Amino acid sequence: MTNDPSALQRAEQALRAAGVDALLLGPGADLRYLTGYLALPLERLTLLVVRADGDHHLVVPTLERPRAEAAGLPEELRLHDVGETGDPYAVAARCLDGAVGRLGAGDQLWSMFLLGLQQAMPGASWTRASAVMRELRMRKTPDEVDALRRAGQAIDRVHAQVPGLLRAGRSEAEVGRDIAEAILAEGHSEVDFVIVGSGPNGASPHHETADRVLADGDGVVIDIGGTLDAYHSDCTRNYVLGDPPEGYTQAHAALQVAQDAACNAVRPGVTASSVDAAARQVLTEAGYGEFFVHRTGHGIGLDGHEEPYIVAGNELVLEPGMAFSIEPGVYVPGRYGMRIEDIVVVTEYGGERLNHGERAAVPV
Ligand code: ZN
Ligand code: ZN
Ligand code: ZN
């Protein structure tokens, strides 16, 4: 596949199509996507300058130069380092040859850097780099889909171990520490998050872990993710200790139908909002609409949350290669919460789920 355009070459094309002269990107997923370099987010400026004319530059603090060189940077990239007393903004301006036209500032470029760049490039007009980068990163290459698939398999193996970790008398925090260990043991290089929401704690979608001790009759939401070969996993399943609380079984059955409906709605040519609507309609008709308090999903890749967002009002048309979560939930304040989450990739034929573990509430 050596004749495929590199990520930098595809960025040049996207820049020209968008009428943007250059991207200025700080450390983060965009920079890594284009160069392979995992730059540290420091108070010293690291800046990738991607020009529509193909003349690309990376400005790094001098002490970061060895790490940048060790990253195996693309050959067409010119590396500049700036010492402790140098002016990185002047160096960045020189990388543009004074030809400051329309510039795309990285979405995650810190405001102190952006303000410095704006001062050094007074003639420029500015837009968000995502106007260009989203077009690249939203459509995953086969290699990226493979990485997401491996991450999905790894997190599935962790969920398979969860029933053995849940017992009345253990705290959410204890269970969470064991799960974090398993996330690493199954091949992730990093633990991104561990949510163990037992009983009423499950009703807060982004609850992490607390000192609450698990008890018989608890529904437990487990939402976990890590990083594997730079790509993220993210998967939610629900577990029940002993007899489920009143209403739980019916709610979970409706949730499973809703999650299936949204997964089955995925195919090229449909809008992101229609996938959200597929899940929402099932839950609304079953009487749980008011308890489904968030969007149906988020894109996933080098960032854990990225475009496309599966949300009402997003009329983006899905295309093969797009990857996102499908994660409807039901949250009953003071009682319990539940969410079923799979990562789904759009293929020519429909949606391919990258998570395969049991979706019914698992009794433990
Ligand atoms: Zn979330
Ligand atoms: Zn999740
Ligand atoms: Zn998610």
- C-alpha 120 to ligand 1 mean position (Å): 38
Residue 252 maps to a domain:
yes
- C-alpha 154 to ligand 1 mean position (Å): 19
- C-alpha 355 to ligand 3 mean position (Å): 12
- C-alpha 49 to ligand 3 mean position (Å): 31
- C-alpha 343 to ligand 2 mean position (Å): 9
- C-alpha 287 to ligand 1 mean position (Å): 23
| Together in a domain, 164 and 63 | no
| Together in a domain, 99 and 159 | no
| Together in a domain, 25 and 109 | yes
Residue 354 maps to a domain:
yes
Q: What is the domain count for the chain? A: 2
Domain of residue 37 covers 7-137
| Together in a domain, 133 and 212 | no
| Together in a domain, 218 and 348 | yes
| Domain end (from 87, 116, 137) | 137
| Together in a domain, 127 and 181 | no
Residue 287 maps to a domain:
yes
pLDDT of 100 over the 90 cut:
no
pLDDT of 280 over the 80 cut:
yes
The arithmetic mean of pLDDT across residues 195-207, rounded, is 95
| Together in a domain, 252 and 357 | yes
Ligand number, closest to the Cα atom of 339 = 2
Ligand number, closest to the Cα atom of 155 = 2
- C-alpha 197 to ligand 1 mean position (Å): 13
Give the predicted TM-score (pTM) of the model.
0.94
Residue 1 maps to a domain:
no
- C-alpha 342 to ligand 3 mean position (Å): 8
The pLDDT of residue 1? 42
| Together in a domain, 40 and 131 | yes
| Together in a domain, 22 and 41 | yes
| Domain end (from 137, 164, 194) | 137
| Together in a domain, 349 and 244 | yes
| Together in a domain, 102 and 187 | no
Give 97's pLDDT tier (boundaries 50, 70, 90): confident
| Together in a domain, 162 and 20 | no
Ligand number, closest to the Cα atom of 325 = 3
- C-alpha 224 to ligand 2 mean position (Å): 6
Residue 254 maps to a domain:
yes
| Domain end (from 108, 137, 166) | 137
- C-alpha 354 to ligand 2 mean position (Å): 13
* Per-residue pLDDT reduced to its tens digit, 154-183: 999 999 999 999 999 999 999 999 999 999
pLDDT of 3 over the 90 cut:
no
Ligand number, closest to the Cα atom of 298 = 3
Q: What percent of the chain has pLDDT over 90?
A: 96
- C-alpha 341 to ligand 3 mean position (Å): 7
**Mapped to the 3 state alphabet, what secondary structure does the chain carry?**
CCCCCCHHHHHHHHHHHHCCCEEEECCCHHHHHHHCCCCCCCCCCCEEEEECCCCEEEEEEHHHHHHHHHCCCCCCEEEEEECCCCCHHHHHHHHCCCCCCEEEECCCCCHHHHHHHHHHCCCCEEEECHHHHHHHHCCCCHHHHHHHHHHHHHHHHHHHHHHHCCCCCCEHHHHHHHHHHHHHHCCCCEEEEEEEEEHHHHHCCCCCCCCCECCCCCEEEEEEEEEECCEECCEEEEEECCCCCCCHHHHHHHHHHHHHHHHHHCCCCCEHHHHHHHHHHHHHHCCCHHHCCCCCEEECCCCCCEEEEECCCCCCECCCCCEEEECCEEEECCCEEEECEEEEEECCCCEEECCCCCCCCEEC
CATH of the domain at 287: 3.90.230.10
Residue 264 maps to a domain:
yes
